[in-house]
Structure 1
Amino acid sequence: MIKLLFSVCFLFSLPLIAQKITLSGEVRDSLLTPLTSANIIAKPKDLNQNLSFTVTDDKGRYLLKLDKNKVYTISISFMGYEQINHEIKLTKNTKKDFFLSEAKNQLDEVVIDMPMILKKDTIVYNTKYFVTGEERKLKNILRKLPGVEVEKNGDIIVRGKKVTKLLVEGKKFFGGGTKLAVENIPADAVKKVVVLDNYNEVAFLKKFSDSDEMAMNIELKEDKKRFVFGDLQTGKGNKDYYKTHANLFYYSPKTNINFIGNLNNIAEQTFTIKDYLNFSGGINAVFNGNFNYHNRDFSQFIEPQDILSSKQYFNAINITKTTSNKMDISGYAIFSHSISENFTQNLNEYSFFTENRESRNEINNLLGIGKLNMDYNPSFEEQWYIRTQIKKNKNSRTNFISSEVNNNINNINTNNKSKAWYTNQNIEWHKKQSQNHTFSSTINYTYDNDSPTSFWSTSQPILQGLIPVDLLQDNFTLQQLKENEKHHLHTVFKDFWTINNENHIYSTIGNTYQNEKFISKDSQILDDGSENDFGLFEFNNSTDFKLNDFFIGLHYKWRRGIFTFKQGVYIHRYNWQVKQETSLSNKKWVFLPDFSLKIEFNKSKKLQLNYNLKSNFSDVSKLADKFLLKSYNSLFRGNETLENELFHNLGVRYSRLSLFRGLLFTASANYSKKIMGFRNAVKFDGVNQLLTLQMAENPSEDWRLNSTIRKRINKVRYKLSGNYFNSKYLQNIDNIDVINENQNYSFNIGAETLFDDFPNIEAGFKSSLGNFTSNNSPSRFTVSEPYLDIKYDFLKSFLFLFDYRHYSYQNKSQSLKNTYNISNASISYKKEDSPWSFKIDVQNLFNTQFKQSNAFSEYLISDTKTYILPRIFMFSIGYNL
């Protein structure tokens, strides 16, 4: 099937490619100097045809693909120069140069109205030059902009770099994540798309922050700046499947209100783990590296996608209010409730035995997130930010496990209940004190409390010899109560001294105070309801951990031509105390040097090198020196003597973009080596494990290489990407030191057609190879994935979508092989001047029962079958406001 569709795609595109001829040349000024990023538009006389567009490269070169024997008006424009309009009809490949003259008394408004403007760190797209009127959402517009790509997961890539913040009219849209924006903002509301590289929300900090963030700001049309728009959708499927969805947006110059709601039982995720991370907040980039920003990981409570059954309720509201020209108040509230069931089958390979395990989970998650921001700008030289965030979750999970080892079967029921509170208060102050000095300061406080309760029930004894169970019972029930409470207070003050435009000195002083408490109680609930407390057998932890980190830093940054270099050091004074039955105190000085080098050969070719020595301390639960139940077959015992880890981190990134050649190339390499850090130690007693942590020299070393090439030829864009990961780490198994090595190779080769009036097809092949070696015993896994996506807009009102994945999975160590197909399809109808839309879609077209994958951990290699929802047919009706 895949080979046939590849052939159809290739043959279908041949006649269309053959009809195109090339117009190329150079654009220069009156002094024959090449003009970089000049706009060239080819407007066809036939209004039914789409215009062609390009910009000149760093040598002033351009290239257009035009239809043979068609009449075009070629418009060449560049800021500050008179526009040229030239009519042309091509019969063969032609080379033509253009020369622009400086404009006289030209208004900025006229100059700015160009398809695309490139400045040093800014790209402005005027969307009216790229749209055809058939676009439905923001993502449809973005995919037509030169140098912009939208991934299936909602990520936006501009010139090979990921957009990390999305703004609408200069305000963060639902926390700044891209997925909700590209999927929900109507295309007909968008006027301009502005890309801001090295983004900082405080404009006068941009040159100091060394931010690697890229932001995208969506400017709305004038008639959409005070308007209610959005869409409603409801659908009914076979059996009892259903979904409803609502996106409502109100924009005005001073008030923005956005609401998104979703109710479904088809595992359609409105709020994903990536979205959660975008909503989790953070601090300004100038404080990066000054302290480890503590943020409770609530993502574990978000429903997984591969499940047997699901019910999901999601509501989110975001409000931004400009109260004056100095004050903005914004906030959002998110509520998510999901009830789901999943089922997995595992083949787990331990060092000396194999376990067959079946696991069924019933999960009920409640998650709420609220945030309030106040941005106060008393002047252009001073800004205040006050942020308050609250998160709360309530989670219950019932787990049924059947474990078979050496023909012995044990059935275990596990019940977990958890409640967690997290609050964060952050105050930031930024002041441009003078032409030479800029100050930044922050106070950040977090409170985190988690109190889970766990029960393990079985008809057979578990962890025999490791826990003091009463064996004279009909049933064996273990109970665990835990509480983890953390208080973190961070204060930082920075002075940015601008000696001149090419020389800066940055100084930092700060302090981090941590107070963490961990309590655990393990016991056996007897048949008569009484309790067998394990406290007399080195169980039941009560651990207090206090850490004070005082630090100062000094950095020097200079720029010479295409080079920007920054070097410096942070000096930390650590004082910490671990209090349990006994008290352990310690203190030390640690020096952490770092440097960075940026080489900007031109706007399209950049190289960046970064190095730093990092340090971090353990979580309090890993310092608890008594036993702790981890699962039905494992115990953990902490180590109060753990100190701070130290590790080198080195990264290099190169990017090259040529619109003239239609080429994008990016490559990166990262190296990390722990020179002092934690290593895992495990002792086995059959299937049972006793886990702990130890300090060790050079416990791990990691390499990661990534490279991507994208090349456009006529109406086809080709892509080749490759990744390599190598990790070596030391662990102790049954008092024997073992070096494990995990190697993974992967590549993706594909092609995508870019037709305007014909079906667009994306086809490719992904493959990954994993090699895991432990104690000279190798294991090998391969996964192959041919894929195909089809998108076809036809008869002006219909849209057909189809995606297909063929997975071939093989565990060569166990001679296991499995293949399965995942496919979805939909067809929708929406008349251009009608608010109504209709859609039929099929999920899991081939009714695949499960997916298969593998995973490595410190102690086992696991093959997993994850069962998924069956084939679902859905008919939906939508209404656009």
Structure 2
Amino acid sequence: MRRYLLSVLILFALIIQANAQQKVTFSGEVRDAGGAALEFANVLAIDTVSKKMASFAVTNQQGAFKLSLEKDKVYNIKVSFIGFLPFERVFKATESNTVPFAIQLSLDAQNLGDVEVVSEMPVLIQGDTITYKTEVFTQGNERKLGEVLEALPGFEVDDEGGVKIQGKSVDKVLVDGKEFFEGDTKLATKNLPANVVDKVQVLQNYNDIGPLSGVNSSEQIALNIQLREDKKNILFGDIQAGAGPEERYLGHLNSFFYNAKTNINLIADANNIGQLAFTMNDYFRFTGGFGSFARGAGSSFQVTSSSLGIPMAERNNAKSLKNELGALNYNFAPNRKWNISGFAIGSSVDNTMGSVSNRTYILQPNADTEVLTSEQRVKSSSGLFKVGLKYTPNSNLQVDYNAFGRMANIQNFDTQNSTFSNQSNDISGTTSQEPYSIEQQLRAFWAQSQNNIFSLEGSYQRQVQDPTYNLINSGQPFASLIPMTGASPYDLTQLKEVTTNKQEAAFNYYRVLNKTNHVNLKIGNTYSSQTLSSSMFEKQSDGSMNSFTQPNLVNLVDYTFEDYYAGLLYKTKLDNLVLTPSLNLHRYKINADQNNASEGFDKTLLLPALSAQYKFRSSHSLNLVYNVAAQFTDIQNYAEGLMVRSYNSLFRGNANLMNSLYHTVNLNYFNFNMYNFFNIYGG
């Protein structure tokens, strides 16, 4: 055994040594004619045989670079920097050089001849913006934007279309400066054709609110996809179609139009092979609404939403799938002051899934096992839309209005057979609902001067959920709790409706004290009014109805949530350290009326937060975030009458629920070095 392990270790060491010998490092320094180091110069190694880029580097502050090359191959080393003559030299990678190779770039216009100074580089770094010239890194056989991004140094694209740059997730995608479907990375990476992309810009600390640019310390990263000039002012796109056995089919259409004033994107998809053009990640991004103003002050009140029928099934857990999607995104700027944008998304789903599960109830005397055979069918049609207006008469004022809506018609059919303790029950459950929601938001941002900035924001949301659940069971369901009088098969129906009206308002004042200090004073309010009603009835074999009026089987609840808050934030910069402490004072009032009784509470909370960031350099930082957050539930967890969730599950709320407090500490380290592409991040 020891000999075997020794042999494996020796073989492993030889493999490592062989691999190490196959790579050599070419290091160098780039300077101007005066000997000054040139930072951010681009260095490329082109394989002279394949004519493809083999390695790439960007010089550091000392003008140094390193290239990892295959041994004994011949490369054309190219160095470029804006305003200088390009440098080229053929180099054979025989061994790593111990003394950096000296490269001098010239500005001497008298010796230009037919050579032009460099006006465009593969990678250009300007402040918080990094621009990649994509044709330098791609092979020409890429089909979609995602494949282009994967070829760029420092980029990662996952299977769902999510993008990371230098270990940080991309929050938004723009095309020629305009949002592409709310900035959704998946729709962009999976649908934009590769051959239309000219450049990719990484916008760090992205902020789309001009008046707040000096005081809003955004950590967002956005991608701006710059199109080739020959792809503007024309309609372009692609079509995919396929067919197979068992009447399988696939159809996908992408169509795009861009010019200086108008952007239009159309995506259509229909298939029955389980390919999801619109995933749950997309669903949550698009249906998330506008977000709560109070969340930034440490308070959270989340309204429970019903599913809108976005397809859940993948190819590995479905019996049959039929998904259809149509999505339109538009952006129109009639002049420099006005911008109109929005999207409309329609989805139709008809999916059938099946499963067989075994459940052992270990608390039963005999540890009985239930065998459950299930088939679920989901039929739904749903729609999402958003309309946005933005008015920016100058760089100091921005006013915008947004309306967001969602609606659906959903039917879920569950057919099950449960075998338990030698008893067999046939179960049929049907849920139908037509939920809808509409949200509106109005915001204004005004920089009265460089030192005084104001913002006023307001929103209103109305949401209605109306699920009806019908349960047919050969055995009497919940016999000890629901007094059904009919005979098998038992037919039980539950009606439920939840209506929500929620409004928010927030005012912020930013005072810039000097270049390294500013304060932010905020006041705001959240008010939510909800009603919930539910009832049950039994359908007899003769068609008559038996309604249950027992207090524990009926809900009629009125619930209000109020939050009034004021906060103070102070931001200071001490050399490389940025500290942002804040305090938010909240006054809450919660009340629930049900069963001829009123329950609720008033509470005052002081919620602190602290953000600390130490920057070693622009792409090397250590971040600490601590905050205390108060979270409150909505009406559905307060209703004390029983509600049926499935054939074997009941739920009831608790009118005495209080809020929860969360203490959160996040410590994140990030380091990316373009000199040697060393990348480490964690937290």
Determine if the TM-score, normalized by the shorter chain, exceeds 0.5. yes
The equivalent of 1:159 in structure 2 is 166
Of 30, 39, 42, the residue aligned with 2:42 is 39
Match of 2:309 in 1: 301
CA distance in structure 1 between the partners assigned to 2:102 and 2:307 by the alignment: 55
Instruction: Name 2:336's counterpart in structure 1.
Output: 325
Q: What's the secondary structure of 2:140's corresponding residue?
A: coil
Asked if the contact 2:87–2:105 (Cα under 8 Å) also holds between the matched residues in 1, the reply is no
Taking the aligned partners of 1:321 and 1:232, their CA distance within structure 2 comes to 25
Which residue of the partner structure matches residue 666 of structure 1?
681
Determine the C-alpha separation between the residues in 1 that align with 2:607 and 2:119.
46
* Within-5 A mapping of 1:777-796: none
Contiguous gaps of at least 5 residues in structure 1: 1-10, 669-881
* Match of residue 76, structure 1, among 75, 79, 85: 79
Which position in structure 2 is the counterpart of 1:218? 225
Structure 1 residues 350 and 596, CA gap change in structure 2 (3 angstroms): farther
Residue from 64, 72, 79 that aligns with 2:67: 64
Tell me the equivalent position of 1:202. Answer: 209
> What letter corresponds to residue 321 of structure 1 in structure 2?
F
Q: CA deviation at 1:120?
A: 4.2
Take 2:443 and 2:258, find their aligned partners in 1: how far apart are those partners? Answer: 28
Residue type at the aligned position of 2:217: D
Note the 1:629-778 alignment, pairs <5 A: 629-668=644-683
Q: Which runs of 5+ in 2 are unaligned?
A: 1-13, 110-115
Q: What's the offset of the Cα at 1:165?
A: 0.5
Across the aligned residues of Structure 1 and Structure 2, the Cα RMSD in angstroms comes to: 2.8
Within the candidate set 545, 548, 567, 1:531 is matched to 545
- Equivalent AA in structure 1 for residue 582 of structure 2: G
- What letter corresponds to residue 309 of structure 2 in structure 1? F
Higher strand proportion: 1
Q: 1:473 aligns with which of 487, 511, 517?
A: 487
Question: Deviation at 1:576?
Answer: 2.1
Structure 2 residue identity aligned to 1:635: L
| Alignment-mate amino acid for residue 595 of structure 1 | L
Instruction: Give the letter aligned to residue 566 of structure 2.
Output: I
Aligned to 1:93: 96
The equivalent residue for 1:248 is 255
Tell me the equivalent position of 2:154: 147
Does residue 340 of the first structure (1) align with residue 351 of the second (2)?
yes
CA deviations over 1:602-637 (Å, ceiling 9, x no partner)? 233211111111012111011112222222222222
- Give the Å deviation of 1:270: 0.6
Q: 1:285 to 1:628 in 2, by over 3 A?
A: closer
Aligned match of 1:846: none
Match of 2:322, SS?
A: strand
Distance 1:633 1:286, change over 3 A: closer
Deviation at 1:648, TM superposition (A): 0.7
- Partner Cα distance (1:343, 1:280) in 2: 28
Deviates more, 1:522-531 or 1:173-182: 522-531
The answer to which of 147-156 and 623-632 deviates more is 623-632
| Per-residue deviation, 1:334 | 0.8
Amino acid across the alignment from 2:44: I
2:565 is the counterpart of 1:551: yes
- Mapped to 1, the partners of 2:44 and 2:414 lie a distance apart of 62
Query: What is aligned with 1:877?
Result: none
Q: How many residues align?
A: 654
CA change 1:451–1:190 in 2 (3 A) is same
Measured in 2, the distance between the counterparts of 1:515 and 1:35 equals: 62
SS in 2 for 1:180: helix
- Partner Cα separation in structure 2 for residue 375 and residue 223 of structure 1: 29
Kept in 2, the 8 Å contact 1:333–1:370? The answer is yes
The alignment status of 1:22 with 2:30, answered yes or no, reads no
Aligned to 1:606: 621
Q: Take 1:491 and 1:224, find their aligned partners in 2: how far apart are those partners?
A: 43
Distance (Å, rounded) in 2 between the aligned partners of 1:281 and 1:469? 41
* Distance change (3 Å), C-alpha of 1:298 and 1:209: farther
User: Which among 50, 53, 56 is matched to residue 53 of structure 1?
Assistant: 56
8 A contact 2:308–2:410 mirrored in 1: no
Aligned to 2:525: 511
Say if 1:351 and 1:448 are closer, same or farther in 2 by CA, change over 3 A. Answer: farther
- TM-score, normalised via structure 2 length: 0.90
Cα distance in 2 for partners of 1:584, 1:614 equals 23
Of the candidates 239, 245, 260, which is equivalent to residue 246 of structure 2?
A: 239
Q: Is the 8 A contact 1:259 1:316 kept in 2?
A: yes
Structure 1 residues 31 and 463, CA gap change in structure 2 (3 angstroms)? farther
Q: Deviations over 1:470-513 (max 9, x none)?
A: 1x523211110000110110101111111112111011011101
1:782 maps to none
What residue in structure 2 maps to residue 492 of structure 1? 506
2:85–2:117 Cα contact (<8 Å) kept: no
What is the TM-score when the length of structure 1 is the normalising length?
A: 0.70
Identity %: 33
Alignment equivalent of 1:114, drawn from 118, 121, 126:
121
Cα distance, 1:351 vs. partner? Answer: 5.0
> Alpha-carbon deviations, 1:76-101, whole Å to 9, x = none?
3445x635514242333224344667
State the partner residue of 1:312. Answer: 323
Asked if structure 2 preserves the Cα contact closer than 8 Å seen for 1:30 and 1:99, the reply is no
Q: Deviations over 1:797-833 (max 9, x none)?
A: xxxxxxxxxxxxxxxxxxxxxxxxxxxxxxxxxxxxx
**Deviation readout 1:306-335 (Å, 9 max, x if unpaired):** 311011111111111111111111121111
**What is the 5 A alignment of 1:159-178?**
159-178=166-185
| CA deviation after TM superposition for structure 1 residue 16, in Å | 9.6
Classify 1:476/1:282 alpha carbon distance in 2 versus 1 (closer, same or farther; 3 Å).
Answer: closer
Contact 1:419 1:451 (8 Å CA) reproduced = yes
Distance 1:307-1:284 versus aligned 2 partners, 3 A rule? closer
Alignment partner of 1:444 is 2:459: yes
The separation in 2 between residues aligned to 1:407 and 1:180, in whole angstroms, is 51
Q: Tell me the SS of whatever aligns to 1:529.
A: coil
- Distance across 2 between alignment mates of 1:13 and 1:232: 47
Separation in 2, partners of 1:176, 1:82: 37
SS in 2 for 1:175: helix
| Alpha-carbon spacing, 1:574–1:288, altered in 2? closer, same or farther (3 Å) | closer
Q: Is the 8 A contact 1:368 1:392 kept in 2?
A: yes
Alignment match, 2:8: none
Q: Which moved further from structure 2: 549-558 or 47-56?
A: 47-56
Distance in 1 separating the partners of 2:241 and 2:455:
49
1:133 aligned residue: 140
* 1:417 to 2:417 alignment: no
Residue 641 to residue 115, structure 1, CA distance change in 2 (3 Å): same
Amino acid at match of 2:186: K
State the SS of the aligned residue for 1:223: helix
Residues in 2 aligned to 1:453 and 1:140: alpha-carbon distance in whole angstroms: 45
Code of the aligned partner of 2:191: N
2:3 is matched with none
Matched, 1:375 2:377: no
